């Protein structure tokens, strides 16, 4: 009999179609670092008899939960309810560590044994959630389990609050990408367990991460009650490199913190709904803010709580949350870009004064960079496909505006690409003709994927000093880390993490 678990168990669901495959998957889950497995008998091609169950449970290396989920609760079992309950009763008699029985099974019909009593809602957070949780707590369950589909991260917070208040060992999770934080933080709030698949493609529910992601990316083994929580708010956030960068930085600097993705649909209402749901017990200490919430973030934090240049840019990408819940914010993009530029040119920010700079593009990144260049009195010309956007930016911060097709005539010492031209996958595109580059001394491409764009390759051939968007990207992440923690960021490591994420050689 495997040893009992005292910490939050990482549970791998086994969804194979034969008992033999399930047994070998159990060995692989053990090797991957699982603490427990859940045998989903409803995935078996044949309902198991006693011999099959015995084969599954004998000489097991990990504690086993036996589940046979009916269709009405999101499972695969389509047979007779009495047969289903008899399979669970048999598993209990044969020594399964836990059997999972749904709350909607009348108490008199529930098989006896060490039970996880569960409730699932794949449509959303149940309106009568409190009542369901009260019923689970009042039941004979050894462990209560509730899982519901998440619409936003506030649903994940609701799941975590159930854990916090529960009087019994509990599993509470919000399913789907928006609910990820309920999975990552289960250990912080003392959950009985959390599910993780052994590899991609073997998930038993939406939003389930792999054991590898839980352990390596989200610091599963380090997360505890005192762990501080940071995250990135945006839509989309699934492919953000920020969790990898910041979690690696927290691990390197021994800071008890974890960084999570927070998917929030567009709209100020959705942003505010999440911010309203954040309670002090969640220990949320800092947020990265990305598209489309940078303007919503400034409105929420309040102009008086951010620095002057960020205020003028009208968007912030970083929020710090003090222990009393008060917010402060900044835009680390402009400083990241200006500092990458100045470091490569070996000048101080004041050294930008009077220098001729061509900014190609007039979107969000261009806005932050133009504001900062104007602040340091550079002589800026903005080239953009939509000329009116270039004009608007030039009017607001000072500078000249030109249509993009005049870019061939530019004669600036510094050229900064703020368009997405040349970005992965269109890596053969470039915003500037190669012959223009011989007139520039410094070329900065804000694109970081790929780190060396066609524009930078041609600029290097023309003898220019070249700056990659990767430097800006690492600078902005490092500045966020320092804004939140007051400690110096491990930049070299952060750089390496981004390259690994982009699958690039060092």
Task: Say if CB 4 and CB 64 are below 8 A apart.
Answer: no
Rule CB under 6 A: choose which of 183, 469, 490, 494 binds ligand NAP: 469
Among 15, 39, 91, 362, binds ligand NAP (CB under 6 A): 362
Q: H or E stretch including 248? A: helix 242-252
Which of 366, 382, 414, 415 lies at the binding interface for ligand NAP (CB under 6 A)? 366
Strands (E), 343-448: 356-360, 379-384, 400-403, 414-417, 442-445
Which of 230, 473, 481, 484 is in the footprint of ligand NAP by CB under 6 A? Answer: 473
CB of 371 to ligand NAP, least distance (A): 13
- Which residue in the block uniquely carries the two structure tokens 């560590």? 97
307 given a catalytic annotation: no
Contact status: 380 vs ligand NAP (CB under 6 A): no
State how far the alpha carbon of 126 is from the alpha carbons of 116, 242, 274, in Å.
19, 32, 18
Taking the complex as a whole, how short is the minimal distance between the CB of residue 390 and ligand NAP, in angstroms? Answer: 8
- The nearest distance, CB 447 to ligand NAP, in angstroms, is 4
Residue closer to ligand NAP by CB (options 282, 479) is 479
359 contributes a contact to ligand NAP by CB under 6 A: no
Question: 88 CB contacts (<8 Å, ≥6 apart)?
Answer: 66, 68, 99, 100, 101, 111, 113
Measured in residues, the chain has a length of 506
- Minimum Å distance from CB 364 to ligand NAP? 4
DSSP annotation string for 208-245: PPBHHIIIIIS-TTT--TT-EEEEEEESS-TT-SHHHH
Q: Which residues contact 207 (CB under 8 A, 6 or more apart)?
A: 150, 174, 175, 176, 177, 178, 179, 180, 183
Residue 384 lies near ligand NAP (rule: CB under 6 A): yes
- Of 52-60, 190-198, 378-386, 456-464, the window that binds ligand NAP (rule: CB under 6 A) is 378-386
Distance CA 87, CA 195 (A): 23
184 binds ligand NAP, rule: CB under 6 A:
no
Exposure of 361 in the CB half-sphere (CA atoms within 13 A): 22
Q: Where in 401-440 is the site for ligand NAP (CB under 6 A)? A: 404, 418-421, 423
Tokens 């992965």, located at residue: 424
- CB nearer to ligand NAP: give 223 or 437: 437
Minimum CB separation of residue 386 from ligand NAP in Å reads 3
Q: Check residue 447 for interaction with ligand NAP (CB under 6 A).
A: yes
Least distance from C-beta 367 to ligand NAP, angstroms? 7
| CA neighbor of 7 nearest in space, from 190, 209, 182 | 190
C-alpha torsion sign, points 467, 473, 476, 481: negative
Q: Which of 221, 464, 465, 450 is nearest to 340 (CA)?
A: 465
DSSP 8-state symbol, 408: G
22 makes contact with ligand NAP (CB under 6 A): no
- Pick the binder of ligand NAP from 15, 36, 338, 365 (CB under 6 A): 365
Residues 223 and 188: beta-carbon distance below 8 Å: yes
Q: Which is nearer to ligand NAP, 208 or 381 (CB)?
A: 381
| Sole window of 102-110, 199-207, 265-273, 441-449 interacting with ligand NAP (rule: CB under 6 A) | 441-449
DSSP 417: E
Structure tokens at 252: 């390197």
Catalytic status, residue 120: yes
Which C-beta is closer to ligand NAP: that of 52 or that of 498? 498
- The yes or no reply on residue 98 touching ligand NAP (CB under 6 A) is no
Residues within window 272-311 making contact with ligand NAP, judged by CB under 6 A: none
Q: Is 448 in the site for ligand NAP (CB under 6 A)?
A: yes
Catalytic residue among 35, 97, 119, 120: 120
| Binds ligand NAP (CB under 6 A): choice among 353, 386, 411, 461 | 386
- Binding status of residue 389 toward ligand NAP by CB under 6 A: yes
Total site size for ligand NAP, rule CB under 6 A: 23
Which is closer to ligand NAP, CB of 273 or CB of 312?
Answer: 312
Work out the angle at residue 227's Cα, subtended by the Cα atoms of residues 226 and 230, and round it to the nearest 5 degrees.
140
Residue number of the CB closest to ligand NAP reads: 363
* Partner residues linked to 193 by β-bridges: 9
Query: Both tokens of residue 134?
Result: 């009260």
For residue 424, indicate whether it is catalytic.
no
Cα dist. 368→144, 233, 293, 335, 388 in Å?
Answer: 49, 19, 15, 9, 17
Largest pairwise CA distance in the chain: 85
Q: Which of 246, 294, 375, 495 is catalytic?
A: 294
Q: How far is the C-alpha of 366 from the C-alpha of 378, rounded, in Å?
A: 14
Q: Among 86-94, 126-134, 268-276, 445-453, which window interacts with ligand NAP (CB under 6 A)?
A: 445-453
User: 333, 339, 379, 471: which is the annotated catalytic residue?
Assistant: 333
Least distance between ligand NAP and beta carbon 469 (Å): 3
User: What is the smallest separation between the CB atom of 233 and ligand NAP, expressed in angstroms?
Assistant: 15
What 8-state DSSP symbol labels residue 291? T
Query: Of 31-90, which residues contact ligand NAP (CB under 6 A)?
Result: none
Nearer to ligand NAP, 270 or 384 (CB): 384
Alpha carbon distances (Å) from 147 to 191, 198, 312: 13, 20, 44
47 vs 363, beta carbon nearer ligand NAP: 363
Which positions are annotated as active-site residues? 120, 145, 294, 333
| Chain contacts with ligand NAP (rule: CB under 6 A) | 361-366, 384-386, 389, 404, 418-421, 423, 446-448, 469, 472-473, 476
């Amino acid at each position: 009999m495997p040893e009992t678990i005292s910490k939050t168990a990482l549970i791998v669901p086994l969804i194979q179609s034969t008992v033999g495959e399930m047994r070998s998957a159990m060995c692989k889950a053990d090797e991957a670092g699982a603490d427990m497995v859940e045998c989903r008998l409803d995935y078996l091609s044949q309902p198991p008899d006693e011999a099959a169950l015995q084969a599954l449970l004998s000489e097991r290396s990990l504690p086993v939960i036996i589940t046979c989920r009916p269709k009405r609760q999101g499972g695969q079992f389509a047979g007779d309810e009495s047969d289903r309950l008899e399979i669970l009763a048999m598993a209990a008699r044969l020594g399964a560590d836990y059997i999972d029985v749904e709350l909607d099974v009348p108490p008199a019909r529930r098989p006896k044994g060490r039970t996880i009593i569960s409730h699932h809602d794949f449509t959303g957070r149940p309106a009568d959630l409190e009542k369901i949780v009260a019923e689970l707590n009042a039941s004979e369950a050894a462990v209560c389990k509730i899982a519901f589909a998440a619409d936003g991260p506030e649903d994940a917070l609701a799941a975590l609050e159930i854990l916090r208040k529960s009087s019994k060992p509990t599993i509470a999770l919000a399913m789907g990408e928006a609910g990820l934080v309920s999975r990552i933080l289960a250990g912080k709030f003392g959950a009985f367990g959390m599910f993780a698949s052994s590899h991609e493609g073997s998930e038993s529910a939406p939003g389930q991460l792999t054991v590898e992601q839980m352990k390596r990316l989200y610091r599963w083994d380090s997360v505890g009650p005192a762990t501080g929580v940071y995250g990135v708010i945006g839509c989309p956030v699934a492919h953000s490199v920020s969790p990898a960068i910041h979690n690696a930085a927290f691990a390197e600097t021994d800071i008890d913190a974890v960084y999570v993705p927070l998917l929030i649909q567009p709209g100020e209402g959705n942003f505010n709904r999440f911010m309203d749901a954040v309670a002090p017990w969640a220990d949320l200490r800092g947020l990265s803010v990305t598209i489309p919430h940078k303007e919503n973030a400034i409105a929420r934090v309040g102009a008086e709580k951010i620095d002057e240049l960020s205020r003028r840019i009208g968007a912030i990408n970083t929020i710090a949350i003090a222990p009393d819940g008060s917010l402060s914010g900044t835009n680390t993009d402009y400083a990241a870009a200006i500092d990458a530029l100045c470091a490569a040119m070996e000048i101080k920010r004041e050294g930008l004064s009077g220098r001729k700079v061509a900014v190609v593009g007039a979107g969000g990144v261009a806005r932050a960079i133009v504001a900062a260049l104007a602040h340091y009195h550079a002589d800026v010309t903005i080239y953009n496909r939509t000329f009116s956007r270039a004009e608007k930016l030039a009017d607001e911060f000072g500078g000249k505006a030109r249509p993009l097709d005049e870019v061939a005539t530019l004669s600036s010492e510094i050229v900064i690409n703020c368009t997405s031209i040349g970005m992965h996958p269109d890596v053969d595109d470039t915003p500037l003709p190669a012959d223009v580059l011989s007139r520039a001394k410094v070329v900065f491409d804000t694109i970081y994927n790929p780190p060396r764009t066609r524009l930078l390759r041609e600029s290097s051939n023309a003898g220019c000093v070249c700056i990659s968007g990767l430097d800006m990207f690492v600078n902005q992440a490092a500045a966020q880390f320092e804004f939140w923690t007051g400690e110096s960021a491990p930049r070299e490591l952060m750089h390496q993490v981004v390259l690994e994420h982009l699958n690039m050689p060092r």
